[in-house]
Structure 1
C-alpha cells in the first residue's frame, strides 16, 4: 500500500516546501482538497506550482468539485497540468455538497450529479481530440493517452456507481468501519460496466502530529472545515503515533492501494514524523 499526504490549506506559500519534503521522504502523492466558498488555495493552480517544485511525486485533487467548473476550461487546465507534471497528475473529482459553493458558482445543487456525468464523458472526448459542442481543437492534448487517471469520491449510491462508468478508481473518505459497503458497491458498478481488473482504491484519514501547539491548530482547522456538518468532533484527526500506525496497518489489511493522510496542522516537520510512523 502506498502512502500519500493531503496538504494543509492554511498557508499556500508553504505548499512547495511541503511537497519537496514529501518527495524527499518518499511519499507517493500530495493531494489538495477543493472548496469555493472557503479560505483555501485553488487546487489546480496550487498543484501546477508544486509540479515545478518536484520531479517524482504524484499530484492529486481530492476531490475537485467538477460541476462548479466549465467543462472545456477544466479539460484545458487538466491537460496542461498533466503535461507540465510529466504525467504525474491524478484527477480526483466529485460533486460536493455545500450549498454555498454551488450558489457562488451559479450551479443548481440538485443537478450536480447529472452535470458531472456529462462532464466526465466530455472530458475524455476532448482529451482524445474529439469535438466538444461541435468545436474542435481544445488543447493541449494531455501527455497521458486519453487523459490522466480519474478517481471519483463520494458516498451516495449514484456517486459510487459512477466509478464503473467513468473512472479508474474510488476515493473512500469514509471511516474504515463503514467503508466496506461503499467499496462493495463500487466493485459491483465496475463489474456491471464490464470493466477488467478492479478499480484503484484510495482511502483517506485525517492526522496531526507534533507538539501540542501543532496538534491544537490541526484540531481547530479540522473543526472549522467540518463545521457545516453540525457534528462536533466529525473528522477529528488522529494524533497518537501508535494509533496512526495501527490505522495504517488496518487499511493495508483492508486492501487499499493507497492511504492519503490529510495533515491539517501547519508545521511541515510533521512529514518526517509521519514518515517514521508509517515506514
Structure 2
C-alpha cells in the first residue's frame, strides 16, 4: 500500500505543532513530516516533542542540512530518538539550501563530498561501530556511541541533481524528493537512484518519498497557483494538485505509478486550517489511496 502523510509547514509557529501532531495521531494519519528550514523550527527538537505528544504516528524530519551538523551530533540525536520512540522517527539528511548555508558561514565547496562523508560516518555510528576517519569535511577519532539504536535505522537523503540521486542510491536507504518533482521527475530519479544502487551492489529496498503540493477548499486553485509562481515552478507541467479528495488521490496515484513509495501532502504556506488539512488527509484522502 502507498504510504501517505502530511507536512507541518515551518511557516507555522512551533506552538501550533502540538495540536496538529495530536490530531494526526488521533485520526490515524501514518506520517507527519517536519522541516528544518532556516531560520525556523529545529528538526530534532520539533520531532522529539511531536513524538512525545503522540502514540503511534511516525514523525519524519525532511531534512537535516549536513553543513550545519557535526556527524557525531546527528548520530547521537537520531539514536536517542530511536531508543526513546522505536521505529517512529524517520530522518533525512541533505545538502540544505546553499544560500542559507552561506548566511551562517557553513557553505561547503563540495556539497556532494560532504554528504557522502556524512552518510558513510552516520551509518557506521548508528550501526554501533567505532570510527576513526579523516576526510575533507568529516573527521572522527575513535568515536562510538554509548547508546546506539537497538535496531536498524533507515537513513534517507534529500536529493535533486543527478550526482546526489546516484549517491543516495549508493549510500542511503531512501530518497526524499521535493514538491517540485512531477511524475516524470520521479521516474528519472528512480533511474538515477538505481544506477547508484547498482554501483554499490545494493539489493535491499530503497524507499522514495515525494512531497506533493496540495490545496483544497474554495480558493485552492488560486493558492496553489500563487505558491508555484512564488517558487518559480509555474511552468512545470503536472506539478501540485488542487481540488477534492478524489483529485488528490489521483495525483498521488500518478506519483506512485512513477516510482514513489510514500507521498507526503504538502499544504500551501498560507493554508488557512492546518488542523483541518491533516484531518482531511487522514479521513478523506487516505481511504481513496491504495
Distance in 1 separating the partners of 2:260 and 2:15: 31
State the Cα distance separating 1:143 from its structure 2 match: 3.2
Which residue is 1:163 aligned to?
Answer: 168
Distance in 1 separating the partners of 2:218 and 2:85: 34
Q: Does 1:239 align with 2:246?
A: no
In the TM superposition, what whole-angstrom CA distance separates every residue of 1:141-175 from its partner, at most 9, and x where no partner exists?
A: 12333xx2111221111111112321111222311
In the TM superposition, what whole-angstrom CA distance separates every residue of 1:182-214 from its partner, at most 9, and x where no partner exists?
A: 1111112112211114411212201132454x8
Which residue is 2:136 aligned to?
Answer: none
Which residue is 1:103 aligned to?
Answer: 102
Task: Give SS of 2:210's match.
Answer: strand
Q: Does 1:30 align with 2:37?
A: no
Which residue is 2:21 aligned to?
Answer: 19
Q: Does 1:259 align with 2:263?
A: yes
Whether contact under 8 Å (2:155, 2:172) holds in the other structure is yes
Distance in 1 separating the partners of 2:21 and 2:224: 18
Q: Does 1:277 align with 2:278?
A: no
State the Cα distance separating 1:45 from its structure 2 match: 0.6
Q: Does 1:4 align with 2:9?
A: no
Distance in 1 separating the partners of 2:6 and 2:98: 24
Structure 2 unmatched ranges of 5 or more: 133-139
Which of the numbers 253, 260, 266 marks the counterpart of 1:249?
A: 253
State the Cα distance separating 1:216 from its structure 2 match: 6.9
Which of the numbers 196, 199, 203 marks the counterpart of 1:196?
A: 203
Kindly report which structure 2 residues correspond to 1:1-279, keeping only aligned pairs within 5 A, or say none: 1-9=2-10, 10-36=12-38, 38=39, 40-99=40-99, 101-127=100-126, 128-132=128-132, 133-145=140-152, 148-173=153-178, 174-210=181-217, 212=219, 222=227, 227=230, 230=232, 238-241=241-244, 242-264=246-268, 265-267=271-273, 268-275=275-282, 276-279=284-287
Distance in 1 separating the partners of 2:113 and 2:191: 23
Whether contact under 8 Å (2:108, 2:114) holds in the other structure is no
In the TM superposition, what whole-angstrom CA distance separates every residue of 1:18-42 from its partner, at most 9, and x where no partner exists?
A: 1222222222211112222x3x211
Distance in 2 separating the partners of 1:137 and 1:201: 29
State the Cα distance separating 1:217 from its structure 2 match: 7.2
Distance in 2 separating the partners of 1:249 and 1:232: 21
Distance in 1 separating the partners of 2:66 and 2:4: 25
Distance 1:131-1:190 versus aligned 2 partners, 3 A rule: closer
Structure 1 unmatched ranges of 5 or more: none
Distance in 2 separating the partners of 1:49 and 1:246: 33
State the Cα distance separating 1:61 from its structure 2 match: 1.4
Flag as ranges the 4+ runs of structure 1 deviating above 4 A: 214-220, 229-237
CA RMSD of aligned residues (A): 2.6
Distance 1:84-1:20 versus aligned 2 partners, 3 A rule: same
State the Cα distance separating 1:239 from its structure 2 match: 2.7
Whether contact under 8 Å (2:225, 2:234) holds in the other structure is no
- Larger strand proportion of the pair: 2
